[in-house]
Chains A and B, each alone.
Chain A
Amino acid sequence: MAKYIVKRILFGIATAFIVATLTFFIMNLVPGGPFLSEKAVTPAAQEALEAKYGLDKPLFQQYLTYMGDLVHGDLGDSLKKRGFTVNRIIETKFPVSAKLGGIAMLVAFFLGVPLGCIAAYKRSKLVDNIIIVFSTAGIAIPSFLSSTLLMYIFSTKLGLLPSLGLSEPKSYIMPVIALALYPTCYIARLMRSSMLDVIGQDYMRTARAKGVSTFLMIFKHALRNAILPVVTYMGPLLASLMTGSFIIEKIFTIPGLGHEFVGAITSRDYPLIMGTTIFLATFIIIMNVVVDILYAFIDPRIKLK
């Protein structure tokens, strides 16, 4: 197993390296630049800015410099948020997104899994139909719509929940619902279909013949086998939820990292584009390794080699 983990980590580093390289060159191909503004800057000021951030060097040399700094954990200075380093932006914004995303994921997991189990057990009954309809709708509704609707109902009309920031515990309610809606529904559907597979297996029939109660049968015997697809989905899900959602952070004015991903690209803040992309890529890679390790715990038949 240790050998397997080491191998996966090495692959992960290689993947992160490829992501960094591709992002670096693709982002430099996009027209425009960080110091382009509606108002023309004098050539001298433009040159000074480019020299200050090393953008006057040939592209390949910039790449080497960047990768050198990256190895030392230095993600550079933001070009558009003057005075902020990319490390500092990620350090201050990631915790905000991570906390929100973490809560949303717990909600999605602890709501989605039981819902999927219940739907599978009550297959074709009314409960199952209701869950299917709602989970299909939940997957289809984009987050900008659900967030705006929540905001309209609970903030604007009813005035029950604050619409700005995350200043108090109840400010988390709307963003968490908006963020958890899609994964909850997705997990419920995933859980339902894999549970249906498992329920049809012989050993389930044996358990039933032995007189095991329905609750135990579903949540003890079947769940462990049926949950594997959900765990697979949870790895990348956790990474994407915890690194923030551009739309939800924008609508609820949350100072999170999700916003920086998109903002960096539109403003051509090269070091910030690189920093956020590499951060997300690394996070996803790590989560995938964690998921693989979890497999072995959940299903001992799986051997990690």
Chain B
Amino acid sequence: MKKKVAQVVAGLLAVSMLATACGSSSSSTDTASSDSTTESTAANELDVQVGPSPETIDPALNSAVDGANMIIHAFEGLLKFDQDNNVVAGCAETWETSEDGLTWTFHLRDGLKWSDGSDLTANDFVYSWQRVADPNTAAPYGYDLLNQVVGYTEVSEGTADVTTLGVSAPDDSTFVVNLSSPCTYFDKICAFAVLMPVQQATIDANGDEWTTNPETYITNGAYYVTEYTPGEQIVMTKNPNYWDADSITFDTITWHLIEDPNASYSAYQQGELDMIKDVPTEEIPSLEGNEEFNVEPIMGTYYITFNCNKEPFDNALVREALSLAIDREYVASTIMQGTYSAATNFVGPGVSDAEEGSSFEEVTTSTYGDFFDNSDYDANLAKAKELLAEAGYADGAGFPEIEYLTNDSGYHKAVAEYLQSAWAELGITMTINIQEWQTVTADRRAGNFDVARNGWVYDWDDPSNMINLLETENGNNDGKYSSEEFDSLVDQARQTTDVSEHYDLLHQAEQVLLKDAAMAPVAYYNDFWLQKSNLTGTWHSPYGYWYFMYGSLE
């Protein structure tokens, strides 16, 4: 009998040993990560949360804001943005444009180095830019950033070798870009994270894996990576080989890759983190007036897309009526808890105009007046009813039942429910179709919808980045809006070398969109975050980037 009891015990032990044996192999990564979190209270180390694990931290492949936040701390492009969002010298000390606007020449600083100590030359920029254009890299932003560069089309289609791209390095410190058409905002593109230099040696040796190991992730900016544990944290350490290392304050920055806002909020409250981007929305009412709670605009607009190919949305009167029936102030301040701002036009705050330091939106307001007067909703609603009657659907009679397509994250569902009640005022019955994000994106692009949630955050500070979305041939024109007048204005704005003409044409184009109700702008995006009051000297840009490298903890 005793023997059998022993067998039972042995059996159970086997199960439990299996459990612990499998666990033991993780101990090495655990100890590595514990060192950095326990020490993070030291004054010169910063702990932040800007998002979960980034999809990639390869500059060329990145298309997300959280990835870009990490990339701008690890790399530096030819140019960069300062605290006022002006373009300033980066790796290039000076730069000039030819008279026709087609040739851009950059003069690199002396003695630029990679984080591994090797020299960084203009040829590294040639390689990096060719890599972005190379179809085998499949860089999501390749077209947007480089389509004006000579030879891009052939290279990206695979019909010409990447070396035919219009970028060259006449000597080690000069980088030249040849454009096929002028681009007034090309300096901003040169400051974009995707075009930051990457080291050919490490990519040739390690392929796509180069970003996944700290040893092979060679950078040229303020920091380099010393630990990368997906799902947990990325630790960056000050790069002594960076040309401006003396200006960099924090010795390490730890990016905590937290997905759940409640978890990041809890860690912030416990003092484990100095700054968090993901604040639980249910906490926002209690945070108002708290000096640690920040709300700042980013360049982006939350809008509603109408399927312009489909009745009744092919009628501009109907689109305008639906658009006017939205109480934007109520949506932004009540439904979205003040984390968005009510839209008055299509292009919102943070986007520049021709003059240095000017705002596109302010120029719109002073030249054309705000398109939506959010102070008098009753008047807007009355006008909406009139317009709908004019379109032949008085009090919604004969108006088909419509469906609103959205995914359920953030405030999307609450906004959908609001729209349901707002449009019911016009006598319109709307059902809500909630799908997961992938399905919404696929259906919206394929035109399988009546009305859909949409939104756009700018890639760079130029209104064309948003306005061009409604161009007939644009891949993101989900509603298939089409206007010859609009297309021609946008095209002229693209071709001109005159900066003020560029902006003027875009103002006109925006007015066409608004009058046509090509879409219904709802609200402007803001970033809202919590930051300890002793963390100073950092800033947040309208791109949604935080610059931590010059900050300090007092």
A interface residues with partner B (beta carbon < 8 Å): 30-33, 36-42, 44-49, 52, 77, 80-84, 88-89, 92-96, 98-103, 105-106, 109, 148, 151-152, 155-156, 159, 162-168, 220, 224, 227, 234, 238, 242, 249-256, 259, 266-268, 290, 294, 297-298, 300
Contact = CB atoms under 8 A, between A and B. Distances in A.
B270 A159 contact: yes
A166 B233 CA distance: 12
A109 B5 CA distance: 17
Contacts of B158: 44, 48
Contacts of B229: 255
9 contacts: A36-B441, A41-B143, A44-B156, A81-B56, A98-B23, A106-B19, A164-B263, A224-B5, A253-B260
B231 A93 contact: yes
Nearest to A48: B135
Given A82-B56, A168-B38, A45 B231 contact: no
Contacts of B232: 165, 253-255
B120 to A, nearest CB: 22
B22 A39 contact: no
B22 A99 contact: yes
A42 B155 CA distance: 13
Contact of A151 (B136, B207, B258, B266): B266
A42 to B, nearest CB: 4
A84 B415 CA distance: 38
User: Which of B23, B34, B258 has the most CB atoms of chain A within a 10 A radius of its CB?
Assistant: B23
Contact of B441 (A32, A82, A167): A32
Contacts of A80: 55
Interface string B46-86: 00000001011010010100000000000000000000000
Interface of B: 4-5, 7-8, 10-12, 15-16, 18-20, 22-26, 29-30, 33-34, 37-38, 53, 55-56, 58, 61, 63, 135-140, 142-143, 156-158, 207-212, 229-233, 256-260, 262-263, 266-267, 269-270, 272, 436-439, 441-443, 445, 455, 474-476
Contacts of B211: 82-83
A21 B207 CA distance: 30
A96 B15 contact: no
Contacts of B209: 83-84
Nearest to B437: A266
Contacts of B157: 44
Contacts, number: 213
Contact of B22 (A84, A94, A220): A94
A38 B441 contact: yes
A48 B162 CA distance: 14
A297 B145 CA distance: 68
Contact of B212 (A84, A109, A166, A227): A84
A39 B63 contact: yes
A151 B230 contact: no
A115 B258 CA distance: 36
B140 A37 contact: yes
A151 B270 CA distance: 11
User: Which of B138, B260, B442 has the most CB atoms of chain A within a 10 A radius of its CB?
Assistant: B138
The 9 A-B pairs of least Cβ separation, nearest first, read A99-B23, A102-B19, A255-B231, A32-B438, A40-B475, A95-B26, A98-B22, A48-B135, A167-B34
A242 B156 CA distance: 45
B33 A165 contact: yes
Nearest to A168: B34
A224 B4 CA distance: 10
A205 B63 CA distance: 73
A24 to B, nearest CB: 18
A254 B438 CA distance: 25
Contacts of B231: 93, 249, 253-256, 259
B283 to A, nearest CB: 11
A163 B23 contact: no
Contacts of B61: 82
Given A42-B156, A48-B136, A266 B436 contact: yes
A42 B441 contact: no
Given A45-B138, A45-B139, A164-B258, A83 B438 contact: no
Given A40-B475, A234-B15, A163 B22 contact: no
Contacts of A94: 22
A266 B7 CA distance: 45
Contacts of A77: 208
User: Which of A36, A46, A83, A294 has the most CB atoms of chain B within a 10 A radius of its CB?
Assistant: A83
A297 B438 contact: no
B52 to A, nearest CB: 9
A131 B136 CA distance: 62
